[in-house]
Amino acid sequence: LGEVFCRFDADVDGAWSTAELQSFARTCNGGEEFGEAELSQVGEFTTNGQGRLTRRGFLEMMQLQTMARPEDTWADLRALGYD
């Protein structure tokens, strides 16, 4: 998951901007971006001072998803090239 985070951290600042988060979403969701509801949930995870999702926040997000819907995590990982 650390590798996945780094792949989408285009500006290498240790946090995902909305554009970087949406790039991740498009890759995992067949071109679909996150809606407003999903974007607003990002604040529930660890963010930096600008409200951007940190690596820790990404891991928290993926852990929550995996506990609730493991099949979605596996689908994301397959979309990212992992099997």
Each residue's pLDDT tens digit, 14-41: 999 999 999 999 999 999 999 999 999 9
How much is the pLDDT for 18? 96
| pLDDT at residue 39, rounded to an integer | 93
Mean pLDDT of the 2-16 span: 98
User: pLDDT over 90 for what percent of the chain?
Assistant: 96
What gap in Å lies between CA 45 and CA 57, rounded to an integer?
5
Residue 24's contacts (CB-CB under 8 Å, 6 or more residues apart) are 4, 8, 16
Q: Which CATH superfamily is domain 1-80 in?
A: EF-hand (1.10.238.10)
Residue 71 pLDDT class (50, 70, 90 cuts)? very high
